[in-house]
Amino acid sequence: MPILPIVQFPDPMLRRPCTPVTAFDAALRQLAADMLETMYAAPGRGLAGPQVAVPRRVFVMDCTWKEGTRSPRVCVNPEIVAASDTLAVQTEGCLSIPGVPAAVARPDWIVLRWTDLDGTTVQARMDGFEAVCAQHELDHLNGRLCIDLLPEDDRIAISPLLAALGSS
């Protein structure tokens, strides 16, 4: 399976809202397999369509593999159907914005609904880092990046790092 190139900030591809997946076919399976392989090789815990130049509503994630147990998820056409009122701050990294950690506040649990590769609707409650990861990846499908969620002071603080990425 090929490892795909990861689109890097500030590529405009990362700002493009993605369109829904409509065909649950061999091509989608291959894309999901390639995205997981690319994510593991990066190495990372989540990867969304636009990060591999595919502007479709699909992301992959695995929040446990770095601790020794693989639990890959492929989330097609995902949506958040419930979220906590309370927010938690966690530091996020993004494979498209390397070396720029972002301490972002998000709901600390969500209920995510998505379609799996067989076209079956799945729903799960996610907590902790898994909730963070799913929200981060879902944002990618709407052209939103974790750095967008930073408070103004933090955004100013990372702007030299972002400028360096843009000029390389």
How far is Cα 127 from Cα 64, in angstroms, rounded to an integer? 13
Q: Is 58 in the site for Zn ion (CB under 5 A)?
A: no
Active site residue 137: yes
Residue list 130-149, contact with Zn ion (CB under 5 A): none
Place of tokens 């090789």: 41
How many residues form the binding site for Zn ion (CB under 5 A)?
1
Q: Which of 61, 94, 102, 150 binds Zn ion (CB under 5 A)?
A: 94
For 53, phi and psi rounded to 5 degrees?
65, 30
Question: Looking at beta carbons only, is 22 or 89 nearer to Zn ion?
Answer: 89
Query: Residue 26 CB, nearest distance to Zn ion (Å)?
Result: 27
Half-sphere exposure of 45 toward its Cβ, with a 13 Å CA cutoff?
Answer: 17
From the candidates 79, 92, 137, 152, which is the catalytic residue? 137
Residue 163: burial class (beta carbons within 10 Å; 0-12, 13-18, 19+): exposed
Query: Residue 159 CB, nearest distance to Zn ion (Å)?
Result: 18
Binding site for Zn ion (CB under 5 A): 94
